[in-house]
Structure 1
Amino acid sequence: MAQYMLIMRGTDESNAAMMANIDEMMTATRVFIEDMAKAGVYVGAEGLDDPGKGVVVHFDGEAPVVTDGPYGETKELFGGFFLLDVASKQEAVEWAKRVPAAPGSKIEIRRVPGEDEVPEQSGEFVKEGASRESSGQV
């Protein structure tokens, strides 16, 4: 089994269409989550707040620059995700086809690498961070 993230991406238009039918969309999403849970593939899911309430930290110069949303030049926004534990990418694709989504939306599918796939140096980085956190250095 492998974990795959189904990333919900929408535009201003698809988000407006979803909000126009929010009760119907929420009901369909609850049913979708129940179906995934019954199939034993559901790990988690979250939606995100309005992008106008967010901020972006840009790393283009020497010091990070923070800007407020909304993101005027962005064509697509990340709106939330479903995390599944399935046997294959194709199974993740089949679940993605069932996501209740407004016209114009997209679902990006990305595999979550397992711990055994993380390079050894990354493991040392994680251990060092945990050590600093437990000693109050973070």
Structure 2
Amino acid sequence: MAKFLLLKHYRGAPEALNNVPMDQWTPDEVAAHMQFMEDYAERLQANGEYVEGQALSPEGTFVRYDGEGRPPVTDGPFAETKDLIAGWFAIDVDGYDRALELAGELSAAPAAGGKPLHEWIEVRPFLAAPVTITE
């Protein structure tokens, strides 16, 4: 088994295939999307592949150490940002191919008009501990 993080990138960029902002979806479209996410998580749980998942608020703050002990804080994400991390799932699956399969399914979550969202899903393996040799 291998652990992966599926990062849900909400792209407001023109190249997105279903570029209707979620705040313009009908209540039924939002409900259908949320039900898809719940069903997806439940199926992963039933398969023993679910570790954890969470939707994220669009508000956020960027912090970076400034070298002098005072971290500068910047509100964000910004309107001009093309990507926004909308949420994530941590999964524990048989391998990379299964992680890609699940990411593809997640990308097809329903959006406006019931059409697939075509959301970009970033697949990131968890960093494994280096192999140690003991004698």
TM-score band w.r.t. shorter chain: 0.7 to 0.9
What corresponds to 1:117 in structure 2?
A: 130
Q: CA-to-partner distance for each residue in 1:95-125, whole Å, 9 max, x for gaps?
A: 11111264352000000023x3399xxxxxx
Contact 1:11 1:104 in 2 (8 A): no
Counterparts of 1:61 and 1:23, CA distance in 2: 45
Contact 2:32 2:110 in 1 (8 A): no
Which blocks of at least 5 consecutive residues in structure 1 are unaligned? 120-138
Equivalent position amino acid for 2:3 in 1: Q
Equivalent position amino acid for 1:65 in 2: P
Equivalent position amino acid for 1:25 in 2: H
Contact 1:18 1:101 in 2 (8 A): no
What corresponds to 1:2 in structure 2?
A: 2
| Correspondences of 1:67-106 after superposition (within 5 Å) | 67-99=74-106, 100=109, 102=111, 103-106=117-120
Which blocks of at least 5 consecutive residues in structure 2 are unaligned? 14-18, 112-116
Q: CA-to-partner distance for each residue in 1:18-45, whole Å, 9 max, x for gaps?
A: 7612111111111111111111101010
**Equivalenced residues, count:** 116
Contact 1:5 1:109 in 2 (8 A): yes
Counterparts of 2:24 and 2:45, CA distance in 1: 25
**Cα 1:92–1:104 shift into 2, 3 Å:** closer
TM superposition score normalised by structure 1 = 0.71
Cα-Cα RMSD: 2.6
Contact 2:4 2:99 in 1 (8 A): yes
What corresponds to 2:11 in structure 1?
A: 11
- How far is the alpha carbon of 1:70 from its aligned partner? 3.9
TM superposition score normalised by structure 2 = 0.73
Counterparts of 1:76 and 1:4, CA distance in 2: 20
Counterparts of 2:51 and 2:20, CA distance in 1: 25
**Bigger helix fraction:** 1
What corresponds to 2:121 in structure 1?
A: 107
